[in-house]
A and B are shown apart, each in its own frame.
Chain A
Amino acid sequence: MLEVDGLSVSYGGVSALDGVSLRIPDNGITAVLGPNGAGKSTLIRAIAGLVRPRAGRVLYGGRLLTGMSPEAIVRAGISMVPEGGGIIRELTVEENLRLAHLWRRDRADLRKALDEVMALFPPLAARRHLPANSLSGGERQMLAVGRALMSRADLLLLDEPSLGLAPKLVSLIMRTVHDLRAQRGLSVLLVEQNARSALSIADEALLLSSGRTVASRRAGELAHEEELWHAYLGY
């Protein structure tokens, strides 16, 4: 269970996130929606340890994560996929994947984890030894998600995984996230601008605007609140 309590973040005195709270139960998917600049990415970056919150705290499985470094938070079982995937273009596909497993220092399991990711995303297997910058947009997102799985995290933080992808690929990524939850018991925090596809797989949803929580509902309910959509998402 991930618990975020009253998290506030400022960048140089400008508030980006103001008292946001959320819960993700084990094996749950929570979607965080909102327009550009709503604080969605800031929320995910604060949970991953990339930015220090001004106030509030983050607990995972009862353990306080606030103040921990990103590399320590990975070791606590949380893996983040940054916006755009964050693949390291200078490394090969396989090196990108191996990198995420190195801290476990377990060679036998490394091979197993690599095979699992290759089986999950066959296009990656075909490009295994090519530089990651030779991948297409969809393949990069597969590599990013696959890489997050390499660390054997049980909570994935996904920052706009559908950004810039064709609709067909968006539904592939959403289906993959949905299946991963079912098959591996993962929990997912899904930050999205593409509200419709995020709500289709999420249990809970949070709507942010200007750094504050505007609505927090069951995903199915939010999907039907059209006036909220119009007001905050513009469609």
Chain B
Amino acid sequence: MNYFFVLTLTGVAAGMIYAALALALVLVWRATRVVNFAQGAMAMATTYVALAVIQATGNYWFGFVAALAAGMIMGAVAERGIVRWVENGPPLNAVILTLGLLLILEAVVPMIWGAQIRSFPAPFSIAALEVGTAFIPLSPFNIFTIGVVLLVMVALLVLFRFTGLGLSMRAAAFAPEIARLLGVRVGRLLTFGWGLATVAGALAGLLVAPTLLLYPNNMDAILVYGFTAAVLGGLDSPIGALVCGLSMGLALSFIGGYLGPDLETAGALVILIAILMVRPQGLFVHSAERRV
């Protein structure tokens, strides 16, 4: 099997996970103009919820649904309970608060579930597919990962483009005061936006854990890659999150494969700096005034 082909497939599978986390960051940014540095830690916490439910019920899918539901609740509570209080203050306040939330989650989760590294089940095999005598470096779980992230993407696209709720959410993001004058309950939509974002983050957590295992800071590196992808996409664009998440996955896979795995994290930063020097507003933002 061609080494390039192997790296490409691994990169796509990893990139889908970065895309899911980037998507979470983009949804939060669109709703409240806050970069949520706790997004990865929230995903870690919801994955622990999933593990607890899977162990209690013996059914992966109950855990899967529980993690997404926990994400919706955790996101909504974080917005209503924490971010809402500083929304009129300097933007840095909210960012510091999300960093605080990150630290709290990474401290509280091991108090509940312990700090040891846990294995996490996958709903499908994580062994490479065998076609005839050849191995394709893509497992059924990788295919599930790609499919479910694409599905979420399409669902969000339909939500934003074709539903009244999506129209209200866009209006609330672009012009909150005007939206309120038109009867849009902006406050509720911000809460819902955080909930939705954290569901996307929870999905990333579920998809990471079978291969990277589960421990209290298992999402830290994913947050860095997802954040880089979100910024590259312009922070405002769900499509940008997908494309840049995928590109990050591919780029890191090639860097790791050809230059050495130690360079992956540094590679992400080099990509971030290089692209921001050329296009500081991100790759998927059209109007100049929406610069990040």
B interface majority secondary structure:
helix
Contacts of B164 in A (CB 8 A): 98, 102
Interface string of B173-206 (1 = CB under 8 A from A): 0110111111111100000000000000000000
Quick check: is B168 within 8 A (CB to CB) of the other chain? yes
In the complex, the answer to whether A86 meets B183 with C-beta atoms within 8 Å is no
Number of B interface residues at 8 Å Cβ cutoff, please give it: 17
Quick check: is A99 within 8 A (CB to CB) of the other chain? yes
In the complex, the answer to whether A90 meets B177 with C-beta atoms within 8 Å is no
Give chain A nearest CB distance to B206 CB in angstroms: 33
Given contacts A71-B186, A86-B175, contact A91 B170 (CB under 8 A): yes
Contacts of A147 in B (CB 8 A): 182
In the complex, the answer to whether B167 meets A95 with C-beta atoms within 8 Å is yes
Contacts of B271 in A (CB 8 A): none
Quick check: is A113 within 8 A (CB to CB) of the other chain? no
Given contacts A71-B185, A71-B186, contact A99 B180 (CB under 8 A): no
A contacts, CB < 8 Å to B: 48, 50, 69-71, 74-75, 79-80, 82, 86-91, 95, 98-100, 102-103, 147, 151
Task: A71-B183, A86-B177 given; name 9 further pairs at CB < 8 Å.
Answer: A50-B177, A69-B180, A74-B183, A86-B178, A91-B167, A91-B170, A99-B168, A103-B183, A103-B184
A interface majority secondary structure:
mixed
In the complex, the answer to whether B184 meets A86 with C-beta atoms within 8 Å is no
Give chain A nearest CB distance to B285 CB in angstroms: 11
Given contacts A99-B168, A102-B167, contact A91 B181 (CB under 8 A): no
With A and B bound together, what is the CA distance between A102 and B185 in angstroms? 11
Given contacts A98-B164, A99-B168, A102-B167, contact A91 B174 (CB under 8 A): yes
